Structure 1
Amino acid sequence: MTSIIKLHCLSGAGEETPPCYVLQIDEFKFLLDCGWDEKFDMVFIKELKRHVNTIDAVLISHSDPLHLGALPYAVGKLGLSCPIYATLPVYKMGQMFMYDLYQAHKNVSEFDLFTLDDVDMAFDRIVQLKYNQSIEMKGKGLGLRITPLPAGHSLGGTIWRISAPGEEDIVYAPDFNHKKERHLNGCDIERLMRPSLMLLGAMNADYVQQRRRLRDEKLMTTILTTLRGGGCVLVCTDTAGRVLELAHMLDQLWRNKDSGLVAYSLLLLSNVSYNVVEFAKSQIEWMSDKLTRAFEGARSNPFALRHVQLCHSAGDVTRTPGPKVVLASFPDLEAGFARDLFLQWAPHSHNSIVLTARTSPGTLARDLIDNGGDRVIEMVVRRRVKLEGAELEEFLQQQRMNVTNTVREEVAGISSDSDSEDELEMCVVTGRHDIPVRLETRLGGCFKSNKRHHAIYPFHEERTRADDYGEIIKPEDYRLAEIVDAEGEIRDVPPTAPIKQEQDEEMSEVPSKCVSSVRQVHVKAHVEYIELEGRCDGESLLRVVSQTKPWAVVGLRASEAALHTLKKHCESEGIEKVFLPSVGETVDATTESHIYQVKLTDGLMRGLVWRQAGDAELAWLSAVVAPRTHARESDAAPEEGGGAVSLEAGAGRPRAAAFVNTVRLHELRAALARAGLQPDLGAGTLTCCSGTLAVRRMENGQVSLEGVLSEEYYKVRELLYEQFAIV
């Protein structure tokens, strides 16, 4: 059976915007990824809102905001309620990405697009899968099957294979890497062979990539030169994706005593760095074969990072003395600790800024890649500061008024015979929590005698900072002893959990506000772009297309030049159909050219007369094809230009009854015997009623009834008709 296949591009088509597509297979609709750009573009959200109620399942391919950044907003604000499918590492690391993204923006602005509760709600809906685990869709998707395949590029990264009814397979491969890396295997090209449709991320179709050895040498040279010159190196990377490859590689370099790097500090800076490393330790089975064998053999965990210090604030970096290398999020330099350190270190020529990814056009990192450094850049600097003086007094006064109003409302609701508002006594807030207390002692107090207690919970217990003898407790004194194996390598030493400083605790309790200013930043630091994205380069991507031999290709998320390169290569390989859509366009990738989708109206269905035929029911349908006049608005939006039609009841020409079934004489004999007509079967003829009636099968397949007209004749004919479904 051939399915109707359509792809509507909400984002990530004809340009380098985040991937987000609605794939329709007959009546079932998949949302392929739900990414959001660094600027949180709301135009894309308006388009997503039109489709959110019609989506039946969501497939997430990678854990970074580029592929799932808008998921918390879609679930928390738009009401997306369908199942979401992703691998276990995408589920775990995706949460870390979104926690870090939220906190990075909350630290410098009144960020309200989504909350941490929205993040948790979205990820609670995720169905966690393993590689090669097939899941059958239900309901409208009966016959559809999804299978996650390894994609490389990031931990748990997925290429989705969607099997439609019949022989049609759809491969969705937005970002993948066929080459093995230090901590990841490459994608399995053999599992992608001969799909009917390949949805291909073609961003690198025209990109010429340096060999990995040369890129690693370039990174090492930049680090050594800067550190020996007394400077610091900022490596702009993500939260929980490509940072694992970098952290593992640099930790191995620091372990090499001949490298001369042991004297310098290596720091990993993000709001969730401790959790990211802990999760990476527990997901070794998702990593490369080399790391898996090392863990199974020597029980050496590759992410027991010996030389990487985990930091959770810019203050931790400042307190680390001497030249240092810092892996900080985010790679776009639009928010996060990487932007904060860039503002501090960029004006000094002895420092270096290493950019590891080509982020979206319009970001600070992309501007530095395209135009280089050694120039003055105008930047908006946002930060959160404590309220002081009159602002603090005004804030506290407003808080007191809010609590007073709340108490008045509670008092008014507790008892119907309570005092009037003029007789109520003013209450104030004391202590750390909202505890109503009277200004003066009076019998009866602020409340009537209703046996109620003051609200004194939650109780806050101060953390003990000294033992019973007054000695200051230092958590680092209680770390586990280092475990050294026979080769002198330290293995599986748990890093210390993040320790909040007193200043951080006080800051979280003091009211604050967000301020912004425009600063002219003279970028004197050495800016170096070293591509460490972990994607296929142009030559490899085109070779994968040649090997998989898809029947049709849709080029996604790429510049015009890259799409032109992909199209030219596909034409040379004899691929019949190549689609290069733009944002907002719908691609009709149906295999057959003369196939249409129609709706059965309610009036038509009510007029059908059903007949039982074994385990099935049959009805004769007489209808006409007409344009849909009462389509729902939610259904009409994706069908623009699709010419949706319906079947409506129509007056058909007179026709003869149709007899559906094949009569078996032995079954008819049993029915006659139950009626007491004494049947006898012999020589291909069924006789009954003392031989006066006979039922024969003719050469053309028809059945004839012969005999004397009598009451028994009509009984036999009725039993014969019951063997058919007459429509």
Structure 2
Amino acid sequence: MTSIIKLHCLSGAGDESPPCYVLQIDEFKFLLDCGWDEKFDIDFIKELKRHVNSIDAVLLSHSDPLHLGALPFAVGQLGLNCPIYATLPVYKMGQMFMYDLYQSHRNVSDFDLFTLDDVDAAFDRITQLKYNQSVDMKGKGHGLRITPIPAGHSLGGTVWRIVAPGEEDIVYAPDFNHKKERHLNGCEIEKIMRPSLLLLGAANADYVQQRRRMRDEKLMTTILSTLRGGGCVLVCTDTAGRVLELAHMLDQLWRNKDSGLVAYSLLLLSNVSYNVLEFAKSQVKWMSDKLTRAFEGARSNPFALRHLQLCHSVVEVTRTPGPKVVLASFPDLEVGFARDLFLLWAPNHLNSIVLTARTSPGTLARDLIEKGGDRTIELTVKRRVRLEGAELEDFLQQQRIKINNSIKEEAGGVSSDSESEGELEMYVVTGRHDIPVRHDTRPTGCFKSNKRHHAMYPFHEERTRSDDYGEIIRPEDYRLAEIVDAEGEIRDVPPAPPPKQEPDEEMLEIPSKCVTSVRQVAVRASVQYIELEGRCDGESLLRLVAHAKPRAVVALRARPHAVHTLSKHCESEGIEKVFTPNKGETIDATTESHIYQVKLTDALVSGLAWRAAGDAELAWLSAVVAERARPRDADTEERADDELMSLEPTRGERGTAHCASFINSVRLSELRAHLARLGLNAEFSGGALECCNGTIAIRRLENGRVALEGVLSEEYYKVRELLYDQFAIV
């Protein structure tokens, strides 16, 4: 049986936008990755919103925002509610990516697209899988099976293999690396051989990659020359993906005493650097065979990096004396500590900026790669500053008003309309916890006394504010005594005087605001692009396609020239179907050419007579294809379903007789065993099964059918009945 396969490209087709696709197999819909670009394109979200309610499962291939950046928004804001599948490292490191991304934006702007609660809610829905662990889909996905295969490129990176009913084998490989690296094995290419459909990330189809040895020598030369010249090196990398390869490689260089690097500092700077390294230590079994054997033999963790210092702010970096190498996030230089250090170090000609990835067009890193440095560029600088002067007073005044209003609401919460009003009047709260006393406590009849009362033992207890987990922490109590100004100089900051407030008033966070300015930045530092993405290069990509021999290929996330290179290569290898969709297009990748998807109406199904055929049931169907009745107020989001035709009962022919169809392939050897159990002797003679002393013969014809010949008798009808029982007759 052949499945109907369609791929809708929400993003990541015909250009370098992040991968996000809806793969429909019959009635089941997979969301393949859920990436978001550095600019947080809202048009992409509008397109995703149209499909979010029809998604049945999400498959995540890598842990960076390029592959799952929009997942917290989809779950927290759009209401995506379906199973999500990923490997354990993608689950752990993906969460670190999103934490770092969110905090980096919150440090300089009022970021509100998603919250940390949205991140936690999204990752709580992930079902963690191991490599080569197959999972069967349920419900309308019955018969579908997904399997994660090692992809290289990043820790836990996945190539997804989807087996559909009818042995349709679909492979989704957006980013992979066939070469072994220091901390990762390569992609297991032998497990993706001869798929029916290959969804291939073809961004590098025309890319000529520099040899690994020359690349490492270039990085080493840049670092040594800069440090010995008294400058600092900024290596722009990601949070928890490719940074592991870089950190492991540089720490090994620092361990080599002959390199002379021990005299300099090696720093890892991100909001979650400590957590990333701790998670890496616990995921050695997901790494290369070499590191796994070393860990099992010497019990030495490859990510117990002795020379790597962990930092969580620019202040910690500037406090580190002397020339230094800093691995900072993010590689696009649009936000994060890498951008902050770029603004500080770019004007100094002694420093070096190392770019490790070709990020999306329009980002600062991409602009530096294409146009180089040694020029003055105009940048929008965002930062968060503390409130001062009149702004601070206005903020504090608003806080006082809110607190006073809350106190009044709490004080007025005690009602005097109670069953024992006379008794309660003695204990009315006048202040906060004052005990009032009356001059005369004797009852004066059925009317309430209007005598005034005064407070006895007045005491004002300071109220402790707390959240669900205990007392709220006051950030100002832990404020650093010094900060770094825009030019990178450390200046002392006197402790802020405590504002005049009520005893129970409390500041939940340091008052601040976000300001934006435009600066002219003179890029005098050396800007080097050293490709450390860990993706398959063009030559290897084309060889992989020729080796895998897929029946059909879909080129994803590739520029026009790369698409042309891949298409031309597929034609030379005899691959007939090569799809090159653009963003927003839907392709029909169904294997069979004459197969259509229709809806069965209730009127049609109710009149079917089902017959058992092994584990399945069959019925004869006589119907005509008609357009589905479409309500006038149908939502445009469901127009894809409305395009399906429906089957209606044939007018005047419902339930009419038809020629019987026999469904099954009978084996004469099994039929002989059945006849023996009934006491009828049967022997093979001349290719036919003869029974009842040769009076009845059962033979197979050239067209595959079975013929019954013989003398009409009681035994003849017994044999015929037994023969009919071997079929499902509809």
Please indicate the TM-score interval, normalised by the length of the shorter structure: 0.7 to 0.9
Q: Distance in 2 between matches of 1:384 and 1:531?
A: 33
Report which stretch shifted further, 390-399 or 52-61: 390-399
With over 3 angstroms needed to count, the CA separation of the structure-2 counterparts of 1:40 and 1:706, relative to structure 1, is same
Deviations 1:570-611 (A, max 9, x none): 111111110100001111110000000001123333454667
Deviations 1:48-98 (A, max 9, x none): 000011111100000000000000000000111110110010000000000
Corresponding position: 1:117 with 2:117: yes
**Corresponding residue SS for 2:101:** helix
Match of 2:83 in 1: 83
Match of 1:675 in 2: none
Deviations 1:313-363 (A, max 9, x none): 000001101111000000000000000000000011111100000000000
Q: Distance in 1 between matches of 2:44 and 2:517?
A: 28
Q: Distance in 1 between matches of 2:509 and 2:87?
A: 38
With over 3 angstroms needed to count, the CA separation of the structure-2 counterparts of 1:167 and 1:624, relative to structure 1, is same
Match of 2:361 in 1: 361
The CA deviation at 1:402 is 2.6
Deviations 1:143-195 (A, max 9, x none): 11111111000000000111111222111100000001111110011111100
User: CA contact under 8 A between 2:9 and 2:22: conserved in structure 1?
Assistant: yes
Corresponding position: 1:303 with 2:311: no
Q: Distance in 2 between matches of 1:702 and 1:624?
A: 39
Match of 2:464 in 1: 456
Deviations 1:589-643 (A, max 9, x none): 1000000000112333345466788987665543221122337647734469xx5
User: CA contact under 8 A between 2:430 and 2:436: conserved in structure 1?
Assistant: no
Match of 1:655 in 2: 656
Counting only pairs closer than 5 Å after superposition, residues 460-471 of structure 1 correspond to structure 2 as: 460=471
Match of 1:240 in 2: 240
Counting only pairs closer than 5 Å after superposition, residues 298-697 of structure 1 correspond to structure 2 as: 298-409=298-409, 415=415, 417=417, 438=431, 443=436, 456-458=464-466, 460=471, 509-608=509-608, 620-630=620-630, 633=635, 636-638=638-640, 643-653=643-653, 655-656=656-657
User: CA contact under 8 A between 1:661 and 1:723: conserved in structure 2?
Assistant: no
What is the letter of the counterpart of residue 200 of structure 2? L
Q: Distance in 2 between matches of 1:310 and 1:274?
A: 6
**Corresponding residue SS for 1:10:** strand
With over 3 angstroms needed to count, the CA separation of the structure-2 counterparts of 1:502 and 1:659, relative to structure 1, is farther
**Corresponding residue SS for 1:181:** coil
Deviations 1:631-663 (A, max 9, x none): 7647734469xx52111233143733777889x
Match of 1:182 in 2: 182
With over 3 angstroms needed to count, the CA separation of the structure-2 counterparts of 1:614 and 1:522, relative to structure 1, is closer
What is the letter of the counterpart of residue 31 of structure 2? L
Unaligned 5+ runs, structure 1: 419-435, 448-452, 464-500, 663-680, 685-695, 708-720
* TM-score normalised by length of structure 2: 0.80
The CA deviation at 1:132 is 0.7
Match of 1:162 in 2: 162
What is the letter of the counterpart of residue 82 of structure 1? C
Q: Distance in 2 between matches of 1:64 and 1:503?
A: 40
Corresponding position: 1:289 with 2:289: yes
Deviations 1:513-563 (A, max 9, x none): 111111110101110000000001111111111111111100000111111
With over 3 angstroms needed to count, the CA separation of the structure-2 counterparts of 1:726 and 1:216, relative to structure 1, is closer
The CA deviation at 1:461 is 8.8
Match of 2:204 in 1: 204
User: CA contact under 8 A between 2:149 and 2:158: conserved in structure 1?
Assistant: yes
Q: Distance in 2 between matches of 1:13 and 1:167?
A: 27
What is the letter of the counterpart of residue 538 of structure 2? G
The CA deviation at 1:438 is 4.7
Deviations 1:436-491 (A, max 9, x none): 995997949999xxxxx99635264989xxxxxxxxxxxxxxxxxxxxxxxxxxxx
Report which stretch shifted further, 396-405 or 555-564: 396-405
What is the letter of the counterpart of residue 636 of structure 1? E
Corresponding position: 1:29 with 2:26: no
Match of 2:225 in 1: 225
With over 3 angstroms needed to count, the CA separation of the structure-2 counterparts of 1:726 and 1:360, relative to structure 1, is closer
With over 3 angstroms needed to count, the CA separation of the structure-2 counterparts of 1:119 and 1:254, relative to structure 1, is same
Counting only pairs closer than 5 Å after superposition, residues 18-57 of structure 1 correspond to structure 2 as: 18-57=18-57
What is the letter of the counterpart of residue 518 of structure 1? V
User: CA contact under 8 A between 1:438 and 1:446: conserved in structure 2?
Assistant: no
**Corresponding residue SS for 2:244:** helix
With over 3 angstroms needed to count, the CA separation of the structure-2 counterparts of 1:338 and 1:704, relative to structure 1, is farther
**Corresponding residue SS for 2:340:** helix
User: CA contact under 8 A between 2:465 and 2:472: conserved in structure 1?
Assistant: no
C-alpha root-mean-square deviation of aligned residues, in Å? 3.6
Match of 1:214 in 2: 214
User: CA contact under 8 A between 1:234 and 1:352: conserved in structure 2?
Assistant: yes
With over 3 angstroms needed to count, the CA separation of the structure-2 counterparts of 1:604 and 1:532, relative to structure 1, is same
**Corresponding residue SS for 2:534:** coil
Match of 1:9 in 2: 9
Q: Distance in 1 between matches of 2:613 and 2:370?
A: 71
Unaligned 5+ runs, structure 2: 419-428, 438-452, 456-460, 475-492, 499-506, 664-677, 682-694, 699-706, 715-723
The CA deviation at 1:239 is 0.2
Report which stretch shifted further, 63-72 or 158-167: 158-167
User: CA contact under 8 A between 1:377 and 1:522: conserved in structure 2?
Assistant: yes
**Corresponding residue SS for 1:400:** helix
**Corresponding residue SS for 2:252:** helix
User: CA contact under 8 A between 1:61 and 1:157: conserved in structure 2?
Assistant: yes
The CA deviation at 1:415 is 3.8
Match of 2:102 in 1: 102
How many residues end up aligned between the 2 structures?
630
With over 3 angstroms needed to count, the CA separation of the structure-2 counterparts of 1:650 and 1:244, relative to structure 1, is same
Deviations 1:702-724 (A, max 9, x none): 999999xxxxxxxxxxxxx9999
User: CA contact under 8 A between 1:659 and 1:724: conserved in structure 2?
Assistant: no
With over 3 angstroms needed to count, the CA separation of the structure-2 counterparts of 1:13 and 1:402, relative to structure 1, is same
**Corresponding residue SS for 2:49:** helix
The CA deviation at 1:410 is 5.2
**Corresponding residue SS for 2:583:** coil
What is the letter of the counterpart of residue 379 of structure 2? M
Q: Distance in 1 between matches of 2:400 and 2:430?
A: 12
What is the letter of the counterpart of residue 656 of structure 1? A
Deviations 1:270-294 (A, max 9, x none): 0000000000001111111111111
Q: Distance in 2 between matches of 1:437 and 1:300?
A: 67
What is the letter of the counterpart of residue 113 of structure 1? L
Q: Distance in 2 between matches of 1:615 and 1:550?
A: 32
**Corresponding residue SS for 2:294:** helix
